[in-house]
Amino acid sequence: MPMNENEFKPKIVAFCCNWCSYAGADLAGTNRLQYPADIKIIRVPCSCRVNPLFVLRAFQRGADGVIICGCHPGDCHYTTGNYYARRRMTLLFSMLDYLGIERGRTRVEWVSAAEGNKFAETMNDFVSTVTKLGENKRLEDLRCANK
């Protein structure tokens, strides 16, 4: 695909749990599956490690979308971490929606270590959603915009 200078390239932060989704991303890589380079992966020990503040901070520093990937419910390396993360993120996303932030900018997806395909598909889909939404204006901190 030819690169257009003016084309909007979103900045996307993906929090991936060490045990499933990060390994899933690795598998996608070793299988040479394509997914956009706009995704910046941050490895966390468990999806439950993701503090709601991390999501907000990513937006503050200019992210256009934030995705959190963890093990499938029931498969958490720490047994129950993703169950807590699920409740937390549901409430946080609902609050962001309540404040008028576009729904497509946040997502939680369960990706296991064997699902390289799903990882690539999810990221492709998420990038296209966020690209359609355009630049994140509603949650950006102006002081951080050019850092």
Partner 1 sequence: MREQMISRACELLANGSVDRVIGWERGEFVYDVTPAVFNDAEDLKSRFVFDLFCGANLSKYLVSETAKGGKVLAFLKPCDTYSFNQLLAEHRVKRENFYIIGVECNGMADINRIREAGASGIKSISSAGDKVTVSTVYGDREFTLSDVIAERCSSCKSRHHVVYDELMGKDGEVLDSNRFDMVEKLEKMTPDERFEFWRGELSRCIRCNACRNVCPACTCEKCIFDNASSGFENKAAADTFEENMFHIIRAFHVAGRCTDCGECSRVCPAHIPLHLLNRKFIKDINELYGDYQAGAEVNERGPLVNFTQDDANPSIVNERGNG
| Contact set with partner 1 (CB under 8 A) | 52-53, 56-57, 59-60, 73-74, 80, 83-84, 86-103, 106-108, 138-143
Question: Residue 67 CB, nearest distance to partner 1 (Å)?
Answer: 11
Alpha carbon separation from 34 to 4, 25, 108 (Å, rounded): 19, 11, 20
Least Cβ distance, residue 143 to partner 1 (angstroms):
5
**Residue 117 region by backbone torsions, left for phi larger than 0, else alpha for psi between -120 and 50, else beta:** alpha
In the complex with partner 1, the residue whose CB is nearer, 95 or 114, is 95
Q: How far is the CB of 82 from partner 1 (least distance, A)?
A: 9
Measuring CA to CA, which residue among 146, 123, 137 is closest to residue 38?
123
Q: Among residues 36 and 52, whose Cβ is nearest to partner 1? A: 52
Distances (CA, A) of 4 to 8, 9, 36: 9, 10, 15
Q: How far is the CB of 98 from partner 1 (least distance, A)?
A: 5
Q: How many residues does the chain have?
A: 147
Rank residues 2 and 100 by Cβ distance to partner 1 and give the closer one: 100
Q: How far apart are CA 93 and CA 56, in angstroms?
A: 11
Q: Please identify, using beta-carbon distances, which residue of 42 and 101 lies nearer to partner 1.
A: 101
Q: How far is the CB of 4 from partner 1 (least distance, A)?
A: 28
Residues 59 and 26: their CA atoms lie apart, in Å, by: 25
Burial of 91 per CB tally in 10 Å (0-12, 13-18, 19+):
exposed
Q: Which is nearer to partner 1, 91 or 114 (CB)?
A: 91
